């Protein structure tokens, strides 16, 4: 017997009953980004492997063990994108759209791929909405990114369930000095570190701050703090950001251990975290990466961005029961027709109504059927009203108009008056 075909572990179908929430979420975010003046960019899902190695950093979890990498038929090493920033930087450089200091405020949406251990809120194909801003180096734009997400949580009804964590990694100079101090301190406590942290101490010491290991965490209590190593420029930038968040009234907590998984961050780093999703608590994360564009072969270009995980935010909406009621109804009106002549007249009538009410969600019965079976389908569709066309109605050029949810008697409406009548009783999105 042949094995039944299955999707790859950690790569999910998003079924029709789930897509309304996804579309609601995506629609809400894209409207908000439009309103703040951000423009969408769409990059390929596959890029040369080299791009991610150079931008994300060789000694990060992503590049070391999470990438889907393969040789294509030409022998080129390609990788399914694990995140969006690298490709976005590649694209703006390739097309010269950040040259001469041009400001770009860009966003993207789509699937990302990481070979992680699948669990709730962590998948191998997952989806992000990400945003990148180029050629603005002040804290005002860092603040704007955070303010936008704050507004988003408000619109989605999840503001009380998320918390903003903030840190500054400083300029690369101050980070360099901090790294030295940290390495010196951790080396003196080498034996008390977990194995992973011992390895990171050599490859990517700042990541040790990120450890979940209790013994290593105990060692870190007295470790040097990044905040003490910030130079004047980094300090002023960080203060400028905090002042703006205070001005808008956005609460935050400073988390000196927040370093982020990717190599390329500098100055501002932030995460929106929740305790509603178990272990996978970060729903949105980002920061400034002023050195990245140059590192990737461009002219020095400041950059700042974030990405949010759509699966985790959809889970939040579900967990907190913040899915708008109206999403559950997909059909406004269901047209039933009995007999071939009525079917043909019904089709033409439906198209006339759609001409006049382009936002009406009108479903025409397909597959004919008895009175009883068509009504059952009308009811099951969730429609508010059924339209009925039989011999009687045909003869009088009217349509039966039957409320399916509660109030009101069935009445006859003249074909010519149908669109106007529907406009008065169906609220259209
Ligand atoms: P984590 O610490 O949870 O692994 P990360 O730091 O690797 O996250 P980023 O690369 O910053 O994550 O991605 C931004 C956001 O994308 C995360 O905050 C999260 O919401 C989401 N995300 C990242 N990896 C996954 C995944 N494997 N499955 C689902 N969502 C993810
Ligand atoms: Mg990760």
Strand runs (DSSP E) across 343-395, as ranges?
362-364, 385-389
Pocket-testing residue among 68, 84, 128, 279, ligand 1, by greatest number of atoms within 8 A of Cβ: 128
Structure tokens at 136: 């603005």
CA–CA separation, 262 and 171 (whole Å): 16
DSSP states along 391-423: HHHHHHTEEEEEESSSS---EEEEGGGHHHHHH
Q: Would you state the pLDDT for residue 428?
A: 61
Question: Could you give the CA distance from residue 161 to residue 147 in angstroms, rounded to a whole number?
Answer: 16
| Whole-angstrom distance, CA of residue 290 vs CA of residue 284 | 20
> What's the rounded mean pLDDT across residues 95-108?
97
Instruction: Supply the pLDDT for residue 72.
Output: 97
Give the count of alpha carbons within 13 A of 62, CB side only: 23
Find out whether 85 and 130 touch, Cβ atoms under 8 Å: yes
| CA 371 to chain CA mean position, Å | 45
pLDDT 10s digits, 55-90: 988 878 899 899 999 999 999 999 999 999 999 999
Q: What is the mean pLDDT of residues 169-173?
A: 90
pLDDT at residue 292 is higher than 60: yes
SS3 389: strand
User: What spacing in Å lies between the alpha carbon of 70 and ligand 2's midpoint?
Assistant: 21
Asked whether the predicted pLDDT for residue 45 surpasses 70, the reply is: yes
Do residues 292 and 264 touch, judged by C-beta distance below 8 A? yes
- pLDDT confidence tier of residue 221, bands split at 50, 70 and 90: very high
State the average pLDDT over residues 367-394: 95
Residue 139 sits at φ, ψ, to 5 deg, of -70, -15
Query: Could you tell me the pLDDT band of residue 429, with boundaries at 50, 70 and 90?
Result: low
Q: For residues 241-251, b (16+ Cβ closer than 10 Å) or e, as one string? A: bbebbeeeebe
Alpha-carbon span 130 to 89, nearest angstrom: 12
Half-sphere exposure of 12 (CA within 13 A, CB side): 17
Distance 260 CA to ligand 2 centre (A): 9
Check residue 216 and give its pLDDT.
93
- Nearest C-alpha neighbor of 222 from the set 267, 196, 249, 256: 256
Q: What is the average per-residue pLDDT within 338-367? A: 96
Summarised one tens digit per residue, pLDDT across range 327-349 is 988 899 999 999 999 999 999 99
Residues 274-302 have a mean pLDDT of 94
Angle at 107 between CA 102 and CA 110, to 5 degrees: 145
Look over the chain and give the mean of its residue pLDDT values, rounded to a whole number: 94
Residue 146: C-alpha distances to residues 52, 267, 274, 287, 316 (Å) = 26, 15, 16, 10, 19
The structure tokens listed for 355 are 């001409």
Which is nearest to 24 in space by CA: 156, 128, 147, 121? 156
For residue 112 and ligand 1, the question of a CB distance below 6 A is answered with no
Report percent pLDDT > 90 for the chain. Answer: 85
Domains of the chain: 19-171+231-319 (3.30.930.10), 330-428 (3.40.50.800)
Q: pLDDT tens digit string along 23-32?
A: 999 999 999 9
Separation between Cα atoms, residue 326 and residue 279, nearest integer Å: 31
114 lines ligand 1 (CB under 6 A): yes
Pocket probe mutation, ligand 1, options 285, 306, 308, max atoms within 8 Å of Cβ:
285
286 lines ligand 1 (CB under 6 A): no
């Amino acid at each position: 017997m042949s094995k039944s075909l299955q999707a790859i572990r950690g790569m999910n179908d998003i079924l029709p009953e789930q897509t309304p929430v996804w579309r609601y979420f995506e629609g809400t975010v894209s409207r908000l980004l439009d309103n703040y003046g951000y423009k969408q960019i769409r990059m390929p899902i596959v890029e040369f492997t080299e791009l991610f190695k150079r931008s994300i950093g060789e000694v990060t979890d992503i590049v070391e063990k999470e990438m889907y990498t393969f040789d294509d038929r030409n022998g080129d090493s390609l990788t399914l994108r694990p995140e969006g920033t690298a490709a976005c930087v590649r694209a703006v450089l390739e097309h010269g759209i950040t040259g001469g200091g041009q400001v770009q405020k860009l966003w993207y949406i789509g699937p990302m791929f990481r070979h992680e251990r699948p669990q709730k809120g962590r998948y191998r194909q997952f989806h992000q909405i990400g945003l990148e801003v180029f050629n603005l180096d002040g804290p005002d734009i860092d603040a704007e990114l955070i303010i936008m997400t704050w507004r988003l949580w408000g619109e989605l009804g999840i503001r009380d369930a998320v918390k903003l964590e903030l840190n500054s990694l400083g300029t690369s100079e101050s980070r360099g000095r901090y790294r030295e101090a940290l390495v010196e301190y951790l080396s003196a406590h080498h034996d008390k570190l977990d194995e992973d942290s011992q390895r990171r101490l050599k490859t990517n010491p700042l990541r040790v701050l990120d450890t979940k290991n209790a013994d290593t965490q105990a060692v870190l209590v007295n470790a040097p703090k990044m905040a003490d190593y910030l130079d004047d420029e980094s300090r002023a930038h960080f203060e400028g950001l905090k002042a703006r968040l205070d001005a808008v009234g956005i609460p935050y907590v400073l988390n000196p251990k927040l370093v982020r998984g990717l190599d390329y961050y500098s100055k501002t780093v932030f995460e929106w975290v929740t305790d509603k999703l178990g272990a996978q608590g970060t729903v949105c994360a980002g920061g400034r990466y002023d050195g990245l564009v140059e590192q990737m072969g461009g002219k020095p270009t400041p950059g700042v961005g974030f990405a949010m995980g759509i699966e985790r935010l959809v889970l939040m909406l579900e967990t907190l029961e913040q899915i708008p009621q109206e999403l559950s109804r997909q059909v406004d009106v269901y047209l039933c027709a009995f007999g071939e002549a009525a079917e043909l007249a019904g089709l033409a009538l439906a198209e006339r109504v759609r001409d006049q009410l382009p936002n009406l969600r009108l479903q025409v019965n397909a597959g004919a059927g008895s009175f009883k079976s068509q009504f059952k389908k009308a009811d099951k569709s969730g429609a508010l009203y059924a339209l009925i066309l039989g011999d009687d109605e045909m003869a009088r050029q009217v349509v039966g108009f039957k409320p399916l949810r509660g109030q009101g008697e069935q009445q006859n409406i003249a074909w010519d008056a149908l669109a106007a009548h529907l406009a008065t009783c169906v609220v259209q999105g």
